[in-house]
Amino acid sequence: MSEGSPVYAAVVTSTQRNETPVSDTPREPRIGILVVAYNAVTTLASVLDRIPQDFRNRVAEIIICDDASRDATHLVALGYQQTAPDLPITVIRHEKNLGYGGNQKAGYRLAIEHDLDIVVLLHGDGQYAPECLGDIVAPLVRGEADAVFGSRMMTEGAARRGGMPLYKYVGNKVLTRFENAVAGAELSEWHSGYRAYSTAALRSIAFDRNADGFNFDTQIILQLIEAGKRIVEVPIPTYYGDEVCYVNGLGYARDISRDVVRYRLGKMGFTSGEYGSVDAEYDLKEGEGSSHHRILEFLADLPPSKVLDLGCSSGLLSERVRALGHHVTGVDREAFPETLERVDEFVVGDLEDGIPSEVGTGFDVVIAADVLEHLRRPEDLLEAVKKVLKPDGRLVVSVPNFGHWYPRGRSVLGVFDYDQRGILDKTHYRFFTRKSLTRMLRNAGFEVRRHSEVGLPFDVLAGDGGSLGTRLLRRADRVSVSLRPTLFAYQFVLHLQRPAAPELLTRSVEEATEHAAASA
């Protein structure tokens, strides 16, 4: 996704904008119209003429952004500015073409700078009806929406009657259904360019980071959805005339499909989160065969024990451990509001500095679930664990497998980057394969008593965990993990103990010999 382009403005002219008098009564919102124009010399004036008379006195400013047209669009805009004193018009001409999305960015920045409350996107080629301006802004004026989209698909058959070509109609329908399914939305149309936004909503999203091309409109929808903004659709008429279409249909479909897939991946924790993001709270991995499931299975076989949960986050795993009858002490840098209710004791501490002395000693089990990879020197934490663990205590560790096919594939393809969670979590300082992990644990003085491998987290990847497709994929993943865990295991779960001291081993052998002699 390209960064925001600078605004190249050779000419900026404006007429006096409407001033709103100070009053105790709620003021009418300052409404602006952003007219994006490119080679619109034959249509621009007629578009402005069609702004309804009863709407003109509500307009605080019309911003005409000529995106370096090759014709006289800019001169038409200047001429209209001089002949229509009732309209407060600002004319911008970019010396360099910024693209459809880049032109919108420049206009929205101006709308924000000029203290507009609402900005309507209107195309200078006349494809969208200015007669509908009142309908477009009405939900925003009433405070019922943060964004309003004009939809050509809300009225059955209207798009085709308005001249929308069949291939565009079918493509619109197919892409909209795909985008709704992937992004979790219910819009009747994603591809209308007739829109109105609250400038407060625009301030709250990073629209400047969006693409400069035609997929800008899709990206800003994703940003609004992610920000929890209210989107309202209103029906608009469809008009297809002799305007020139500058959209490469196949390229556009590719770009918007990629954007919504990236949003979906972001909501699952993959990608760096430009569009979709995950909650900061550390989730419980509840699926059968998950790392938390394996840890809980192990603890279920133990009598009530004293357990230390390192990096407990909000305490979701600790809560399940307590339910098994264990006494749980949690440690983390900060406590979520629910943490104190989910643990028996909680100690604030940064594990980079070791285990806080307030934790105490004599623990039967220490849990380091998805912790070691977050530390710069996990070896230091392992040394600290030995000091708080009973001589015969257990250390339970879960660590993501960097040898998994996903990071391997991304590295081979040259698209390595960090994600929000998972193996390539951007908060991970260390990466481990099974060999490097066991070597580090052995050097720290621990022996592996039991190990297991965990497959892909299908509960996160697919919300419909019970569907036939998901069940088949899960089964195939389990088979793959069993055949080659170093390539297909998503995580390793290890149960460790310190080796017994030599004198204890000698005593055990002597006791066993004496017992055998007595039995004889």
Over residues 250-267, the pLDDT tens digits come to 899 999 999 999 898 888
Structure-block tokens of residue 357: 């002395």
pLDDT value, residue 217: 96
pLDDT of 71 strictly over 90: yes
pLDDT value, residue 92: 96
CB 440 within 8 A of CB 446: no
pLDDT of 508 strictly over 60: no
pLDDT of 145 strictly over 60: yes
Report percent pLDDT > 70 for the chain. 86
89: helix, coil or strand? strand
CA distances from 170 to 159, 198, 257, 262, 469 (A): 11, 31, 16, 24, 27
pLDDT of 507 strictly over 70: no
| Residue 249's pLDDT band (cuts 50, 70, 90) | confident
Contacts of 184 (CB under 8 A, 6+ apart): 225, 267
78-126: per-residue pLDDT in tens?
Answer: 999 999 988 999 999 999 999 999 999 999 999 999 999 999 999 999 9
Question: What integer best gives the mean pLDDT of the chain?
Answer: 88
Average pLDDT estimate for 415-430: 89
Lowest-confidence region among 140-144, 340-344, 377-381, 465-469:
465-469
Structure-block tokens of residue 442: 């052995």
Structure-block tokens of residue 23: 């009053």
Domain with CATH 3.90.550.10 in the chain: 9-267
2-20: per-residue pLDDT in tens?
Answer: 333 333 344 455 554 444 4
- For 9-267, CATH gives 3.90.550.10
pLDDT of 463 strictly over 60: no
Q: If we measure between CA atoms, which residue out of 370, 485, 386, 383 comes closest to residue 423?
A: 370
pLDDT value, residue 505: 47
Selected residue with higher pLDDT from 458 and 198: 198
pLDDT value, residue 4: 38
| Residue 440's pLDDT band (cuts 50, 70, 90) | very high
Average pLDDT estimate for 374-398: 96
CB 17 within 8 A of CB 61: yes
Domain with CATH 3.40.50.150 in the chain: 291-503
pLDDT of 457 strictly over 60: yes
163-174: per-residue pLDDT in tens?
Answer: 899 999 999 999
Alpha helices (H) along 142-215: 158-161, 166-183, 199-203
pLDDT value, residue 436: 96
pLDDT value, residue 511: 57
Average pLDDT estimate for 479-507: 84
Label residue 201 exposed, middle or buried (CB < 10 Å: 0-12, 13-18, 19+).
buried
Place of tokens 């004009």: 150
Average pLDDT estimate for 425-449: 95
Structure-block tokens of residue 172: 């619109």
Average pLDDT estimate for 440-467: 82
pLDDT value, residue 18: 47
pLDDT of 198 strictly over 90: yes
Domain 291-503: which topology? Rossmann fold (3.40.50)
pLDDT of 143 strictly over 70: yes
